[in-house]
Amino acid sequence: MKKIGVIGAGSWGTALALVLSGKGHKVKIWDVDSQHLDELEQNRENMRYLPDIKFNDDLQVGMTLEETMNGADVILFSAPAQHFRSALENAEPYLKQDMLLVNVAKGIEQKTLLRMSEIALQRLPEARYVVLSGPSHAEEVGRSLPTTVAVASQDLKLAEEAQEIFMTERFRVYTTEDVVGVELGGALKNIIALGAGISDGMGFGDNAKAALMTRGLAEIKRLGIKLGADPATFAGLTGVGDLIVTCTSMHSRNRRCGIMIGEGMDPKQATEKVGMVVEGMFTTEAAYDLAKREGVEMPITDQLYQVIKGRANAKDAVELLMGRDKKHEQG
């Protein structure tokens, strides 16, 4: 059994801490919000983000970052994507060379347009780094409902090490070396989930959502291939699998936010009403810039960007997408 420090006590960090502690690992969870930590310690559950699931004895609350990381074999980063850099910087003084670093944030950093692994390996070139991603709502994982994910690392042995640590009878883990594909699939599907929510909010049917998901996957794949991903990854858990679960479930913050926008709410107000980080709002802007930089056509991302920026309403965006020039499906 391992000693594991979890940085970030949102719903996903808490769910994974429950999986790991349930397997017998000694887990400490920490968050930058000290009031939240006090609540976790007092209630022995995450009433704010993942209520009604009690912590077991192997899951403890770390009151400082140093305490949480001291002696740990594994550090799990579960900060929102736009805060991963600062979380890593704060953790650096306590990192040891033999620690396994597992990141579960799904996003692209704004301005730099870097993926999470690029940030990590830019700062820590020798880090033992893996990314965990896939179709996995925290609300289900925390309750031990069957879930399957993938772990990726450029070093397959590190991915296999993480696989061994995380895998249980209810949490199945596959390995891959395609870090680029796994990270892009996890990040970009949030954009399409926003669009799926908007479609639902406008009262469109299953046909429209199926088309949006399918064509959304096509543009995710185009950008992924341009950046060096394995095309097969997008047909797997971290591609189409994650896309399906995020576009169809009310657990999805991105879809819920999109529904409110489709119903006519201002995008900023919709984000605030969700009450948690809506990664797709940030990723849409980053992906829009990344697509322009790489010369990749991403029409759905483009139109969602216009909606988020207030340059178009949802109805106009749909009309522009439906009125595009004829083309071959595989083009």
Here the tokens at position 156 are 């397959």
Write down the pLDDT at residue 163: 98
| Domains detected in the chain | 3-177 (3.40.50.720), 180-322 (1.10.1040.10)
Write down the pLDDT at residue 331: 64
Report the relative pairing of strands 50-54 and 45-46 from DSSP bridges.
antiparallel
Write down the pLDDT at residue 194: 93
- Quote the pTM value: 0.94
- Point out the residues that are catalytic: 189
Write down the pLDDT at residue 38: 97
Q: Name the residue type at position 297.
A: E
Write down the pLDDT at residue 154: 95
Residues of the chain with pLDDT under 50: none
Write down the pLDDT at residue 43: 97
Write down the pLDDT at residue 22: 97
